[in-house]
A = this chain, B = another copy of it.
Amino acid sequence: MKIVRTVSELRVDGEIGLVPTMGALHGGHIALLRAARAENEVVVASLFVNPTQFDEQADLQAYPRDEAHDVEVAEREGVDVLFAPSGEDIYPAGFGTWIDVDDTGAEGAARPGHFRGVATVCLKLFNIVRPARAYFGQKDAQQAIVVRRLVRDLNVGVEIRVLPTVRDSDGLALSSRNARLSPAERERALGLPRALAKAGASDDPVRVARAELNGLTPDYVEVLDLDGARLLAAAVRVGSTRLIDNVLLEGDLS
């Protein structure tokens, strides 16, 4: 596996599958890496904690970073190129061009500027890496919606693949932020997947999810549309950690 640390050194030929990550790789990322490995000649994983998508500086500072672990995981999963650029290389002095996607609601309303940062860094990565396919997890459903939309609206020639959420055995969706939960917080956090699972099987999912959150206060509980699939999504805060999750109500991920 080759580790590339600057945009100018990245030269990859062939049919490329890109897995954009912020590192702290877990089972959710591994599912994406395996799909990319199965479907493409060349696999590029990017490792970049994107500052412009953090609406809270404390969250950016606390975001887990463990490059040695990430290198080991990527190598084991057959990644060809690990692209780990610096902040200055992605956002040089004088940077000032942004991708704005309309009507992002839910996470977009709860985290001002978040999807602007996501959309901007994703378009940059697509232009730098030139993948045929890029892989995203269902857990960040709105991110997938935003990226699909920008790809379609801006005529970007990349297929956006969305893979099912990977969960721990207790039902909690895998997330790099889970590492920050104390055992007591983790127990409380399980209220989120449990409420969504119960609500997803009901006739009035938004109401049921709110009623079943077991004391957790949601930022939002909303039904989202991902290219025809309907998802029930929610965000909660447990202690100082913010968690999101969603379940499929109708349709399939495509």
Residues of A within 8 A of B (CB): 7, 95-103, 119-120, 123-124, 127-128, 149-150, 153-157
Contacts and interface: CB of A to CB of B under 8 A. Distances in A.
Number of copies: 2
A78 to B, nearest CB: 26
10 smallest beta-carbon distances between A and B, as pairs: A96-B102, A97-B153, A127-B155, A97-B150, A98-B100, A128-B155, A97-B101, A124-B155, A95-B153, A100-B100
12 contacts: A96-B101, A96-B103, A97-B100, A97-B101, A97-B119, A97-B149, A98-B101, A99-B99, A99-B100, A120-B154, A124-B154, A128-B155
B99 A153 contact: no
Nearest to A119: B97
A156 to B, nearest CB: 6
A120, A127, A149, most chain B CB atoms within 10 A: A127
A97 B99 contact: yes
A123 B153 CA distance: 10
Nearest to A129: B155
Nearest to A153: B97
A101 B94 CA distance: 11
Contacts of A149: 96-97
A46 to B, nearest CB: 13
A128 to B, nearest CB: 5
Given A7-B155, A127-B155, A156-B127, A99 B98 contact: yes
Nearest to A124: B155
A157 B100 contact: no
A123 B100 CA distance: 13
A186 B56 CA distance: 55
A7 B102 CA distance: 23
Nearest to A98: B100
